[in-house]
Amino acid sequence: MPRSALIVAHGSPSEPRGPEAAIRALAARVADRLPRWTVRGATLAAPGAVEAALDGADDDVPLIYPFFMADGWFVRKTLPERVRRIRGERFEIVRPFGLDPALRRLCLDCLRRAATREGVAPNRTAVLLAAHGSPSDPRPHRAAEGVAQAIAAAGLFREIRLGFIDQAPLVAEAARIDAPALCLPLFAGRAGHVERDLPHALADAGFPGVMLDPIGVQPEVSEIVAAGLVRHLQESWMPRPAAVPQQPVSHPKPLTL
C-alpha cells in the first residue's frame, strides 16, 4: 500500500534556503529506500514549506518524521500545531531521529572511524559530544546524555564529555581537554550553531582535537530514517489520531568524567 511521509527539520530562520535544500535531499534519499512511498522534506523555518508539503500529501494518514535530536518543544508543541492546521487529526508523528537507538550506534561508528582516520588510539582519546541543550526543558539534555552513556558503555574511549550551546556545561568549558580529542556535534544539520558557534567555542577553549561533521549529515542517516518509518507502521498498524511521541523516561546514572 502506498504511503507518504514528511521529514521535518528545524532549519535556519536567518538562512532558510540551505537547510531546506538539505532536508529535501535527505527526503529523496529516503524515498530511494522506500519503493511506493512518497517522501517529502521541509523545515519549520522556511515560510510555508511544511504547509506546502502537506498540501501535496495524498495519503489519509501521512507520517511526520521529526528530524530533531530530541523530543523537545518543537517536536511536542510547534510541529503538531503546524501539521494540525492542514491535516486536522489525520497524521501520525514518528519517533524523532535523535531518540532512535540506531542513532547511538551511528555515533559510536563515526567516532571509531574518526579515530582511525586521525591516527589516535581510542583508549587515549577524549570524546566531546556537542549538543544544543535547553535551559528550560530537560529532554534535550536527556537525549544527549543517552548518547553519551551508550558510547561510554562501549569502553573504547578514555572519557566522554558533554558540552552544550544553551545550557551548562557550555561547549567552551567542556572542550578544555589535555589529551587527543574528537568532537562530534549532535546536530541534525550544518547550519547555524555547527558552522559558527561550535568552531568559536572550540577555538576559545584551545580544543586539542578535530570537530567532525554533525551526526545528521552522515551517509547512514537515510537508512535510519527509512527504517524508522517502516518500524512505525509495524508497531502501529492501525491509523490513529496524532499524538505527541511518548517515550519511556529513563534516568541514566551521571557520567563519570
Regarding whether 133 and 208 lie in a shared domain, the answer is yes
pLDDT, mean of each 10-residue run, the chain (257 residues): 86 89 97 95 94 76 93 91 88 95 97 98 98 93 97 97 96 96 95 89 96 97 97 70 44 39
Please state, in angstroms and rounded to a whole number, the distance separating the CA atoms of residues 108 and 127.
10
In a domain, 247, yes or no: no
Phi/psi of residue 195, nearest 5 degrees: -85, -25
Regarding whether 120 and 85 lie in a shared domain, the answer is no
> Which CATH number belongs to the domain containing residue 45 in this structure?
3.40.50.1400
Residues near 81 by beta carbon (within 8 Å), at least 6 away in sequence: none
If one counts the domains in the chain, the total is 2
In a domain, 47, yes or no: yes
Alpha helices in 100-137 (DSSP H): 101-118
Regarding whether 138 and 31 lie in a shared domain, the answer is no
Regarding whether 109 and 206 lie in a shared domain, the answer is yes
For the entire predicted model, the pTM comes to: 0.88
Q: Is the separation of the CB atoms in 208 and 176 below 8 Å? A: no
Regarding whether 205 and 161 lie in a shared domain, the answer is yes
In a domain, 183, yes or no: yes
Domain assignment of residue 167, given as a range: 100-217
In a domain, 249, yes or no: no
Regarding whether 225 and 192 lie in a shared domain, the answer is no
Phi/psi of residue 64, nearest 5 degrees: -105, 115
C-alpha cell at 56: 501535496
Please state, in angstroms and rounded to a whole number, the distance separating the CA atoms of residues 161 and 90.
41
Regarding whether 133 and 84 lie in a shared domain, the answer is no
pLDDT of residue 39: 95
In a domain, 254, yes or no: no
In a domain, 253, yes or no: no
pLDDT digits (tens, 9 = 90+) for 185-206: 999 998 778 989 999 999 999 9
Residue tagged 552522515 (cell numbers): 218
